[in-house]
Amino acid sequence: MSHLAAIYGCAGPQLTDAERAFFRETRPWAFILFARNIEGADQTRRLIDDLRRAAGDDNAMVFVDQEGGRVQRLKPPLARLRRPAELFGALYARDPQVAVEAVTLNHQLIAHELRALGFDADCAPCIDLRLPETHAVIGDRAFGREPSEVAALGRAAMDGLLAGGVAPVIKHIPGHGRAMADSHLELPVVETALSTLEQSDFQPFRALADAPMAMTAHVVFTAVDPDACVTLSNRAIETVVRGFIGFDGLLMSDDLSMHALGGSFEERTRLSIAAGCDVVLHCNGDMAEMRAIAEAAPQLHGRAAERAADARSVARREQAFDPAAAEARLEALGLNGRLAA
């Protein structure tokens, strides 16, 4: 069974006839949902089932961005509001062991909430460093500044998601922390020396190189490739992502509709795949853009198909878990997510 090497969003809380026909025709590997798609528990489950039926694959993966803090597509009553990563980093500075426990429980709870609605994958954890120059688009989404701390908490987040039956996506490989621009709006350029990047920004990703999936950074590192951002750079992906970092899981692009990228959607797709992305991500549900991507994206095959199968295989494997006890433990630590909506 072949699939288009793409992850697509959809426009609203129900599929239109045009979307259903398009997904049936193109058979994308996976889907991603956003707040615009989510109105209630039963509606979300129906939409997920409809997406899978349209793709002709009951096991098609469905992603969401559910980090906690500012990036949380599911809100009460479907899911508790969770604390941002930086607060777990502050706890780590006081008690590393307790912080690791808290992050693990927090992310297993996130996974528990996601699985109840039918999601299999979470675009988390964010393991970018938070440096003095880090743009606010990352900000409190980062666990902290020290690579070892970020790696430890990123590992805990990944372990919690996996224990809850949800496949994690580490992002934004090989690091967005030195970017001083928001790649949703413009292309960030980082001029830091390669030796510094290898000793700092790249280290959390190297420590989590066994992650099943990673999302690229739409960031130019002039020390690696001055002419293209990581998503579009074969040099960056081969020498840094697959090379120095040693990541061999499924590599997805960040959203192709972000303004960091230029050119047509066919060009963005071809360049991403040629650079070494296994699948491309498109989030906004714009049908014309999705059709253009479908014209240029290949069918999953070879090593990319193997990575996709491996990523799918780690989802839906929930371990026995007591969510009430986990919530109580986080509450005792002041991290239970009881925040104002």
Any bridge partners for residue 221, and if so which?
A: 190
The C-alpha atoms of residue 34 and residue 64 are separated, in whole angstroms, by 7
Q: What distance, in Å, lies between the first and last C-alpha atoms of the chain? A: 42
> What pLDDT shows up at residue 169?
98
Residue 254 neighbours by CB under 8 Å, 6+ apart:
171, 172, 183, 215, 216, 217, 218, 231, 281
pLDDT of residue 183: 86
User: Mean pLDDT score of the chain, rounded to an integer?
Assistant: 95
Kindly name the residue from 120, 201, 254, 255 that is annotated as catalytic. 254
User: Would you give the distance in Å from CA 222 to the centre of its chain?
Assistant: 24
Which pLDDT does position 336 carry in this prediction?
62
- DSSP-assigned states of every residue in 96-151: HHHHHHHHHHHHHHHHHHHHHHT--EE---B-----TT--TTTGGGS--S-HHHHH
141-148: average pLDDT? 96
**Which token pair is 12?**
């609203």
CB contact burial 12-34 (16+ within 10 A = b; e otherwise): eeebeeebbebbeebbbbbbbbe
CA distance 27 to 4: 6
- Catalytic site residue from 49, 95, 184, 301: 184
Residue 229 has pLDDT above 50, yes or no: yes
Overall average pLDDT of the 142-154 stretch: 97
The three-state secondary structure class of 14 is coil
CB 37 within 8 A of CB 331: no
Question: pLDDT for 57-98, tens place per residue?
Answer: 999 999 999 999 999 999 999 999 999 999 999 999 999 999
Domains and CATH numbers, the chain: 4-53+65-332 (3.20.20.300)
Cross-strand bridge partners of residue 170: 214
Non-local CB neighbours of 139 within 8 Å, separated by 6+ positions: 70, 86, 130
The pLDDT of residue 191 is above 50: yes
Scan for tokens 């675009």, then name that residue: 123
Crossing angle of helices 287-296/17-26, nearest 10°?
Answer: 10
Quick check: is 255 catalytic?
Answer: no
**Quick one: tokens of 156?**
């805990």
Q: What is the pLDDT of residues 244-294, one digit of tens each?
A: 999 999 999 999 999 989 999 999 999 999 999 999 999 999 999 999 999
Q: In the annotation, is 254 catalytic? A: yes
